[in-house]
């Protein structure tokens, strides 16, 4: 089998020596991670170093920012990658002192650092000098203390206000000079796909300014993972990040990071099952995105929405047969999967094949009803435009990036699982608008179907005595202290990354989740400012955010 | 056969005497209201019931749900409304986007500190009588996130809950069962017990002036509504 997956652009590899030469004496030391070389720099060199790495060495993707506290220092780690080749990574480590944790903001270099640094301030308590908007982001404004810093007392009482919940009908937010109106959308609103609050300033029907207010579903996922043991206690949580049936994709993110950390080899057979399950999840997730988008854009609760859920039911049935659960699968284990395909195998394979056989007709039906619908086209074409440069600036990934022509898919570019041995294509569209993003998702469903088909062929013919579903993994995992790894997989919404630092015990010292929805949502401002308010709703729908993953 | 006797052209049987024409002109007591229905109801051709019992019956069979998605459970809740499970079959499946039009609030997911006051407000906006179905473990105790620094340990800390549906998430069948149980209770006129609600919205100025309140006094207006979370007292 050949892969048939060739990236359009090729880039010269930057070696560590090049990077050292580039950064020169700004490097205070090295702090290498398992995935990338790490350079320690001074807190006032951040913008300088990141700008150089971006412009001179081509690291144009600020994938993640991890903040954490050690006994003697705070540390911000900027995980940089290249959109052209995400296997080239570099970590920029910025230590700051415990009594005065001030670090320079990276926001002028990467726009996406804005939200990340707000989160780091909120949860860990590092101040970023020069940050344009240093507010809390996940916790309420009136919160006391920084929960992921040392010595935080969880028992302390807290007071949360309802003041943001102003009545939008009253003219109390009327700015008389510019004659604009302030409008709260959410946190309880049918178009926000959960509990998102968008503070919107309108001039007539035009959106002048928006400020997505998140954190209404911040349920301490990172803390929960830091309290669990590697082997079994963490795996149930990823299901609940992106809960739109994308569970296996999320579990894979944790599995990949932890397997790299503990050096576990996954049997080939298990990789195929993982690949198949993950793609089934992707189909279910994209179906939901499609159905709710139709609901958002032209209120189609009857046809498209119900059809999409009908098809999701079929996928969920298959996944239930495989994993035993409809939504929260908890099926992956470190080193493989929980169990083999259900018996009788033939029945399961036949059932899955039936679904795949029916899928093309269904996709045609969706195309008839959605993408070739004139109303839909008018609503989506040229609305919510997101240029490729903005995609990179905001760190957008997944269908959002691919809908803007950024050819970036970790399944191909940073191969894991069994993807590199299968025949499939990465879908990109150059439209940059809401319409392009829908097209990408619909075509990705077909690509996923191709992958599942090939996996089924392989699984069907796999010799019976070689069906190893789990590697031999020690009961208690204790990776070496101070090993750090950042690994990402292609989730349903984009690059889902996990940073783990081990502290020598059987629980992670720091567990950081890089959520694709968090980045995608931060780009909403460029997509909707200056547009009409109905287009804001359409843009929000086409980003396909899941608040569980935005807030974590 | 004349059109005065339509029934006899359909059925052969004439018992009990449904021939109203005969009964009208016939001798003896006037039994023109005799019918199968009357046989079923006994001596009186009317249904006698208490008005509130009737209202309870109506209420239980026509419930407008609040379209209220919080977290993972809302996905299963949508599936309950959608094809295959179709909650509407049970007279309880019209999701309303506005709390002003809703009778039942299904709380589908984890409630965190920032969302607590908003949920309380949404609940307060629903017209009486209102009912709450707590869906999933998070609304019972905080579920898998119970130990989180930001997670309210169950919906009942903030609003009264009539029916708890356990599961993480509950299957759609389980939610249907929960809703059916709620309908049964409503039909029988059973009201849910009044529960103690530890977390209430209060004006900031009314809170006891402890250290935290004094610290926040410069940020929060006296009249602002706030909710005070006493995490140490949580179960």
- A409-451 pLDDT, tens digit per residue, is 888 888 888 888 888 888 888 888 889 999 999 999 999 999 9
Q: Determine whether the interchain pair A159/B226 forms a contact, defined as Cβ–Cβ distance below 8 Å.
A: yes
Rounded to an integer, the average pLDDT of A392-413 is: 89
CB contact under 8 A, A243 and B75: yes
Judgement on whether residues A125 and A251 belong to the same structural domain of the protein: no
Averaged pLDDT of chain A: 86
* Phi, psi dihedrals of residue A92, rounded to the nearest 5°: -110, 115
Q: Which H/E stretch holds residue A62?
A: strand A61-69
Coil vs helix vs strand at A470: strand
DSSP letters, A447-469, are HHHHHHHHHHHHHHHS-GGG---
Give me A410's structure tokens.
Answer: 């970790």
Considering the domain architecture, whether residues B137 and B182 belong to the same structural domain is answered as yes
3-state secondary structure A481-508: CCCEEEEEEECCCCEEEEEEEECCCCCE
Contact A158 B75 (CB under 8 A): no
- Mean per-residue pLDDT for A316-342? 89
Q: In this structure, what are the phi and psi dihedrals at residue A104, rounded to the nearest 5 degrees? A: -75, 145
Using a pLDDT cut of 70, give the percent of chain B over it: 76
Among B110, B168, B219, beta carbon nearest to A328: B168
In a domain, A189, yes or no: no
Calpha distance A90→A539 (Å, rounded): 32
Q: Are strands A336-337 and A484-490 parallel, antiparallel or unpaired?
A: unpaired
Q: Is B128 found in the same domain as B17?
A: no
pLDDT at residue A167, as a whole number: 45
Comparison of pLDDT for A422 and B93, the residue scoring more: A422
Task: Calculate the alpha carbon distances from A408 to A101, A391, B194 in Å.
Answer: 35, 11, 55
Q: Which of A188, A244, A326 lies nearest to residue B171, judging by beta carbons?
A: A326
Q: Which residues pair with A470 in a beta bridge?
A: A336
CATH of residue A25: 3.30.460.80
CB nearest to A220's CB, from B70, B151, B226: B151
Whether A209 is in a domain gets the answer no
Q: How many domains does chain B have?
A: 3
Same domain, B103 and B135: yes
Residue B67 has pLDDT above 60, yes or no: yes
pLDDT of residue A171 exceeding 60, the answer is no
Distance CA A428, CA A443 (A): 9
Q: CB B150 to CB A165 under 8 A?
A: no
Asked which of A426, A447, A478 is the last residue of a domain, the reply is: A478
Checking if the pLDDT of A166 tops 80, the result is: no
Same domain, A303 and A452: yes
Per-residue pLDDT averaged across B170-187, rounded? Answer: 90
| Element containing residue B96 per DSSP (H, E) | strand B94-96
Model pLDDT for residues A248-295, shown as the tens digit of each residue: 999 999 999 999 888 888 999 999 999 999 999 999 999 988 888 888
Residue B57 has pLDDT above 80, yes or no: yes
Look at residue B39 in the predicted model and tell me its pLDDT. Answer: 66
- Mark B18-45 as b/e (b = at least 16 C-beta within 10 Å): eebeebeeeeeeeeeebeeeeeeeeeee
Q: Chain A contacts of B211, Cβ < 8 Å?
A: none
Residue where a domain stops, chosen among A110, A129, A148: A129
Is the separation of the CB atoms in B228 and B205 below 8 Å?
Answer: no
- Domain, as residue range, for A51: 16-129
Q: Which of residues 160-199 of B touch A (CB under 8 A)?
A: 168-169, 171
**In this structure, what CATH number is given to the domain that contains residue B179?**
3.40.50.12280
Q: What pLDDT, on the 0 to 100 scale, is given for residue A277?
A: 92
Q: What distance in Å separates residue A457's CA from the closest CA in chain B? A: 30
Per the CB < 8 A criterion, the answer to whether A529 and A209 are in contact is: yes
What's the pLDDT score for residue A168?
44
Mean predicted confidence (pLDDT) in A135-160: 87
Find the mean pLDDT for residues A112-123: 90
Q: Are residues B150 and B216 in the same domain?
A: no
Q: Is the peptide bond before B169 cis (omega within 30 degrees of 0)?
A: yes
Name the band, by pLDDT with cuts 50, 70 and 90, for residue B32: low
The string of DSSP letters for A170-222 reads SGGG-BTTTTBEEEEE-SSBGGGTBS-EEEEEEETTEEEEEEEE--TT---HH
Pick from B78, B84, B145: which is nearest to A220 by CB?
B145
pLDDT tens digits, residue range A55-86?
Answer: 888 888 888 899 999 888 899 999 998 888 88
Q: Is B194 contained in some domain?
A: no
**Beta-carbon contacts of residue A477 (< 8 Å; ≥ 6 apart):** A229, A230, A231, A258, A262, A334, A506
ipTM for the assembly: 0.86
A147 within domain boundaries: no
Instruction: Judge if B134 and B80 occupy the same domain.
Output: yes
Q: How far is the C-alpha of A545 from the C-alpha of A278, rounded, in Å?
A: 19
Q: Could you tell me if residue B1 is inside a domain?
A: no
CB A158 within 8 A of CB A143: yes
Q: How many CA atoms lie within 13 A of B125 on its CB side?
A: 15
Mean pLDDT over each residue of chain B, to the nearest integer = 80
Q: Which of A456, A478, A500 is the C-terminal boundary of a domain?
A: A478
3 state SS of B157: helix
Residue of B nearest to A147 (CA): B149
Is B225 found in the same domain as B182?
Answer: no
Q: Which residues of A touch B97 (CB under 8 A)?
A: 189-190
Of these ranges, A130-139, A281-290, A470-479, B79-88, the one predicted with the greatest mean pLDDT is A281-290
A462: which 2 tokens? 């796999």
Q: How does residue A2 score in pLDDT terms, banded at 50, 70 and 90? A: very low
Task: Name the strand (E) or helix (H) holding A104.
Answer: strand A102-104
Q: Phi-psi bin for A150: left (phi > 0), alpha (psi -120 to 50), beta?
A: beta
**Which DSSP letter does residue A479 get?**
P
A533 is a domain residue: no
Q: Residue A284: its chain B contacts at CB < 8 A?
A: none
CA atoms within 13 A on the CB side of A91: 26
Q: Which long-range contacts (CB under 8 A, 24 or more apart) does A356-364 make?
A: A356/A449, A356/A452, A356/A453, A356/A456, A359/A445, A359/A446, A359/A449, A360/A446, A362/A307, A362/A311, A363/A442, A363/A445, A363/A446
- Decide if A265 is inside a domain: yes
Instruction: Please give the residue of chain B at the shortest CA–CA distance from A138.
Output: B114
B23: domain range? 6-41
Write down the pLDDT at residue A192. 77
For residues B82 and B146, membership in a common domain is answered with yes
Cα distance between residue A271 and residue A274, in whole Å: 5
When pLDDT is averaged across residues B209-220 and rounded to a whole number, the result is 83
Q: Is residue B71 part of a domain?
A: yes
Is residue A170 over pLDDT 50?
no
A139, part of any domain: no
pLDDT of residue A169: 42
Question: A264: domain CATH number?
Answer: 1.10.645.10
Which phi-psi region, left, alpha or beta, contains residue A303 (left: φ > 0; alpha: ψ -120 to 50)?
alpha
3-class SS shares of chain B: helix, strand, coil, % to 5: 40, 10, 50
Residues A342 and A472 in one domain: yes
CA-derived radius of gyration, chain B: 27
Question: Do both B119 and B168 map to the same domain?
Answer: yes
Q: Is the pLDDT of residue B45 over 60?
A: no
Q: Domain tally for chain A?
A: 2
B24 and B72 co-located in one domain: no
Among B207, B219, B221, smallest CA distance to A172 is for B221
How many angstroms away from the CA of B64 is the closest CA of chain A?
15
Of B115, B213, B229, the CB nearest to A216: B115
What's the gap between Cα A169 and its chain centre?
Answer: 36
Query: Is B227 close to A160, i.e. CB distance below 8 A?
Result: yes
In degrees, rounded to 5, the angle at the alpha carbon of residue A285 between the alpha carbons of residues A281 and A288 is 145
Rounded distance, CA A547 to CA A518, Å?
9
d(CA A302, CA A53): 51
Contact between B164 and B139 (Cβ < 8 Å): yes
Q: Residue B193: inside a domain, yes or no?
A: no
Under the banding of pLDDT at 50, 70 and 90, the label for residue A353 is very high
Averaged pLDDT for residues A457-478: 87
Whether B87 maps to a domain, the answer reads yes
Q: What residues of A are in contact with residue B228 (Cβ under 8 Å)?
A: 157-159
Rounded Cα distance between A418 and A422, Å, is: 7
Domain co-membership, A111 together with A245: no
Query: ∠A211-A212-A213 over CA atoms, to 5°?
Result: 105
Angle at A253 between CA A250 and CA A254, to 5 degrees: 100
Confidence (pLDDT) at A472: 86
Q: Are B211 and A156 in contact (CB under 8 A)?
A: no
Q: CA-to-CA distance for A483 and A542, rounded, in angstroms?
A: 38
Bigger pLDDT: A449 or B189?
A449
Going by pLDDT thresholds of 50, 70 and 90, the confidence category of residue A349 is very high
Q: Which residues contact A396 (CB under 8 A, 6 or more apart)?
A: A386, A390, A404, A406, A494, A516, A519, A520, A523
The whole-model pTM stands at: 0.86
Better pLDDT: B218 or B170: B170
In a domain, A346, yes or no: yes
Q: pLDDT band at B197, cuts 50/70/90? A: low
- B67 and B113 housed in the same domain: yes
A101 in a structural domain: yes
Cα(A69)–Cα(A153) distance, integer angstroms: 15
Same domain, B136 and B224: no
φ, ψ (nearest 5 deg) of residue A201: -110, 125
Give me the pLDDT at residue A3, please: 44
B86 and B155: one domain?
yes
* Pairing, β B131-135 against β B104-108: parallel
Q: Is residue B154 part of a domain?
A: yes
Given a cut of 90, whether residue B177 has pLDDT beyond it is yes
Find the length of chain B.
235
Q: In whole angstroms, what is the distance from residue A89 CA to residue A82 CA?
A: 7
The dihedral built from the CA positions of residue A127, A129, A131 and A135, taken in this order, carries a sign that is positive
The neighbour count for residue B223, using CB atoms within 10 Å, is: 10
The model's pLDDT over B105-124, given as tens digits with 9 standing for 90+, comes to 999 889 999 888 888 888 88
Of the candidates A447, A326, A310, which has an alpha carbon nearest to the alpha carbon of residue A366? A310
Same domain, A406 and A269: yes
């Amino acid at each position: 089998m050949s892969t048939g997956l060739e990236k359009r652009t090729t880039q010269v590899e930057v070696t560590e020596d090049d990077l050292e030469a580039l950064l020169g004496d700004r490097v205070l030391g090295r702090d290498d991670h398992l995935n990338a070389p790490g350079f320690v720099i001074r807190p006032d060199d951040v913008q300088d170093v990141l700008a150089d790495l971006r412009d001179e060495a081509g690291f144009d993707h600020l994938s993640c920012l991890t903040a954490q506290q050690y006994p003697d220092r705070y540390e911000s780690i900027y995980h940089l990658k290249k959109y052209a080749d995400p296997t080239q990574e570099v970590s920029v480590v910025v230590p700051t002192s415990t009594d005065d944790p001030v670090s320079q903001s990276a926001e002028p270099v990467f726009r996406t650092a804005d939200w990340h640094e707000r989160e780091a301030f909120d949860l860990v308590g590092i101040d970023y000098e020069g940050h344009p908007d240093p507010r809390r982001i996940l916790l309420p404004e009136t919160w006391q203390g920084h929960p992921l810093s040392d010595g935080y007392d969880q028992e302390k009482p807290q007071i949360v206000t309802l003041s943001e919940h102003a009545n939008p009908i009253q003219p109390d937010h009327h700015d008389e000079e510019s004659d604009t109106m302030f409008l709260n959308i959410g946190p309880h609103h049918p178009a926000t796909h959960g509990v998102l609050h968008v503070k919107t300033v309108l001039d007539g029907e035009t959106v002048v300014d928006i400020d997505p207010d998140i954190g209404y579903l911040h349920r301490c996922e990172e803390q929960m993972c830091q309290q669990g043991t590697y082997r079994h206690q963490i795996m149930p949580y990823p299901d609940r990040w992106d809960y739109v049936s994308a569970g296996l994709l999320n579990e894979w993110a944790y599995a990949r990071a932890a397997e790299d950390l503990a050096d576990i080899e996954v049997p080939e057979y298990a990789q195929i099952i993982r690949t198949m399950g993950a793609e089934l999840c992707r189909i279910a997730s994209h179906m939901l995105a499609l159905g709710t988008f139709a609901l958002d854009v032209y209120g189609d609760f009857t046809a498209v929405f119900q059809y999409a859920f009908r098809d999701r039911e079929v996928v969920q049935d298959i996944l239930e047969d495989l994993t035993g659960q409809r939504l929260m699968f908890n099926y992956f284990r470190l080193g493989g999967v929980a169990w083999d395909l259900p018996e009788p195998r033939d029945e399961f394979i036949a059932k899955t094949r039936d679904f795949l056989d029916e899928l093309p007709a269904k996709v045609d039906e969706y195309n008839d009803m959605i993408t070739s619908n004139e109303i839909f086209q008018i609503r989506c074409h040229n609305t919510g435009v997101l240029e490729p440069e903005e995609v990179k600036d905001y760190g957008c990934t997944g269908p959002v990036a691919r809908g803007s022509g950024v050819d970036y898919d970790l399944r191909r570019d940073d191969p894991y699982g069994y993807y590199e041995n299968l025949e499939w294509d990465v879908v990109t569209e150059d439209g940059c608008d809401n319409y392009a993003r829908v097209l990408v998702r619909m075509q990705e469903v077909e690509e996923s179907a191709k992958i599942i088909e090939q996996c089924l062929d392989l699984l069907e013919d796999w010799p019976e005595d070689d069906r190893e579903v789990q590697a031999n993994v020690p009961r208690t995992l204790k990776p070496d202290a101070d090993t750090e790894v950042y690994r990402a997989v292609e989730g349903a919404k984009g690059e889902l990354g996990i940073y783990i630092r081990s502290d020598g015990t059987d629980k992670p010292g720091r567990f950081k989740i890089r959520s694709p929805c968090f980045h995608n949502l931060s780009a909403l401002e460029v997509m909707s400012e200056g547009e009409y308010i109905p287009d804001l709703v359409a843009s929000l729908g086409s980003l396909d955010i899941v608040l569980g993953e935005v807030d974590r | 056969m004349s059109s005065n006797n339509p029934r006899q052209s359909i059925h052969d049987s004439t018992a009990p005497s449904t021939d109203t024409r005969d009964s009208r002109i016939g001798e003896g007591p006037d039994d023109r209201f005799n019918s199968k229905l009357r046989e079923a109801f006994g001596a009186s051709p009317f249904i006698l019931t208490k008005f509130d019992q009737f209202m309870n019956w109506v209420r239980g069979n026509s419930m407008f749900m609040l379209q209220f998605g919080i977290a993972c459970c809302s996905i299963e809740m949508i599936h309950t409304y959608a094809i295959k499970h179709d909650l509407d079959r049970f007279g309880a499946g019209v999701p309303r986007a506005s709390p002003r039009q809703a009778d039942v609030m299904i709380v589908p997911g984890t409630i965190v500190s920032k969302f607590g006051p908003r949920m309380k407000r949404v609940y307060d906006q629903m017209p009486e009588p209102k009912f709450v179905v707590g869906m999933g473990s998070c609304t019972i105790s905080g579920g898998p996130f119970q130990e989180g620094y930001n997670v309210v340990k169950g919906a009942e800390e903030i609003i009264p809950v009539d029916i708890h549906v356990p599961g993480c998430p509950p299957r759609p069948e389980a939610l249907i069962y929960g809703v059916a149980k709620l309908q049964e209770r409503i039909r029988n006129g059973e009201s849910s017990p009044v529960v103690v609600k530890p977390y209430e919205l209060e004006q900031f100025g009314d809170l006891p002036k402890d250290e935290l309140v004094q610290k926040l006094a410069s940020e929060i207006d006296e009249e602002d509504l706030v909710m005070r979370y006493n995490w140490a007292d949580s179960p």
